[in-house]
Amino acid sequence: MSDIIHEFTTEIPHWRPRVKPIDLAEATPEQLDALKVTPSNTKVSDYVLVLANDVETLKVRTPLFNAIMYNRGGLGRAERELGATAASVVNRCVYCAAVHASRYNQLAKDESVMERVFRDGEAAELDERQQAIFRFAVKLSKAPSAADEKDMQALRDAGLDDGEILDLILSASLFGWANRLMHVLGDPVAKEGQTR
């Protein structure tokens, strides 16, 4: 359909599911619990309502997602978003890329990195530390075997310690997961008035 967005953007689109979201009115107690639906919080996105079709996975994936992206210590939050965006660029998840590129921009207070990433894709050239992070996340996302010891050494040479490297492995890998839901189970579509 013509309103589907195919180009990367930092304007967050609307997400239109390709499969049926669950009906909140018919949700099981387990689903309501996983959705964190309470009388004061009844707003749930279509995306999460789609995932509630597999409630056992949703229930454990949400805390995992939050821990990997927001845990204290280790890799800075902006750099985790760079890893997440790298995966989303490789997997062409326009929606995920929009969300996480714009979070990067807010956290880093610098839009030039994502401008280069969206313009040049996987080949984008960045500063040494950002470049090492981006390259590693791109290769791990393409195929686990595509990342090699040189890519890992580049992370160490750029000053990342073991804890930071682990956080990068986790955030890039997590978007191997997220992209396979968001990009597979729905389409990014323009919000009213959104430029395409």
Partner 1 sequence: MSEVFSDDIVARQAGADASDRVRAALEGRADVMAMTQATHDAALRPADPGGLSLALRAALAVRVARLNENAELADHYRALLEKAGAGETESAVSDPAYRGHEEERLSAIIAFTDLVSMRPRDTRAADIEALQVAGIPDADIVRLAELNAFLAYQIRVIAGLKLMKATA
Contact residues for partner 1, defined by CB under 8 A:
18-20, 50-51, 53-54, 56-57, 59-61, 63-64, 67-68, 71, 73-74, 90-93, 140-141, 143-145, 147-149, 151-153, 156, 162-163, 165-170, 172-174, 176-181, 183-185, 187
What does DSSP assign to residue 26?
G
Q: How far is the CB of 39 from partner 1 (least distance, A)?
A: 26
**Whose Cβ is closer to partner 1: residue 38's or residue 145's?**
145
**Whose Cβ is closer to partner 1: residue 103's or residue 183's?**
183
**Whose Cβ is closer to partner 1: residue 5's or residue 68's?**
68
**Whose Cβ is closer to partner 1: residue 96's or residue 105's?**
96
Q: How far is the CB of 167 from partner 1 (least distance, A)?
A: 8
Spatial neighbors of 107 by CB under 8 A, at least 6 apart, are: 76, 77, 78, 81
Q: How far is the CB of 133 from partner 1 (least distance, A)?
A: 12
Q: How far is the CB of 24 from partner 1 (least distance, A)?
A: 15
Q: How far is the CB of 174 from partner 1 (least distance, A)?
A: 6
* CA–CA separation, 2 and 110 (whole Å): 32
The answer to whether 169 touches 140, Cβ cutoff 8 Å, is: yes
**Whose Cβ is closer to partner 1: residue 113's or residue 182's?**
182
- DSSP character string of 121-174: GGG----HHHHHHHHHHHHHHH-GGG--HHHHHHHHHTT--HHHHHHHHHHHHH
The answer to whether 137 touches 172, Cβ cutoff 8 Å, is: yes
* CA–CA separation, 131 and 123 (whole Å): 10
Chain CA centroid to CA 138, Å: 13
